[in-house]
Structure 1
């Protein structure tokens, strides 16, 4: 009986004292240590704009789209007289699709400038 009372008292006392003291320091200490390096590491390792991992499609805008437009203009009859305005419109999607068909590119959706299309286009321009 003494053991049960002692165990109950220890469990009750330990339960209330243990979660309060260790939980707060352990929780605040654990997230701070992993969070600081984890949050710094992804920021440091973010790919730069225009990284081959970027996918461009209808509605995309910016310098990556402008670069795509310039490259497609170097391929005869793919984006002939197409505008270089940084906007991924229907005309650009059709040019990307034409390029994909002509060069047998697989792995990207039709008219979408993904990694497979980017790799081939960059190797040719």
Structure 2
């Protein structure tokens, strides 16, 4: 028995229908969120980066639709802070080499905390 796909198939979108992928965010909206996220990260010397990252991701998901369904980001800064502290420590003791593992790790965490509304 085949399980249904967890996301809408783009093959079912008929010609003339709504586009399979849509992004409706604007520059002014993003600028406010980006400045706030930057200030939060800068003022806390990077400690609050998980919350800044979640703000940006929440904005991106709120403005992204796939197959007519809007995305929702469920992650929180509190849920990411443990990983961030570990990654930050490893980044320092490896003199930056660990960043090659941090980038995919952050992306994996973001994907795992993104779903359809």
| Same topology, TM > 0.5 | no
Structure with the bigger RCO (C-alpha within 8 Å, sep 6+) is 2
Q: Which has the larger radius of gyration?
A: 1
Q: Which has the higher helix share?
A: 1
Q: Which has the higher strand share?
A: 2
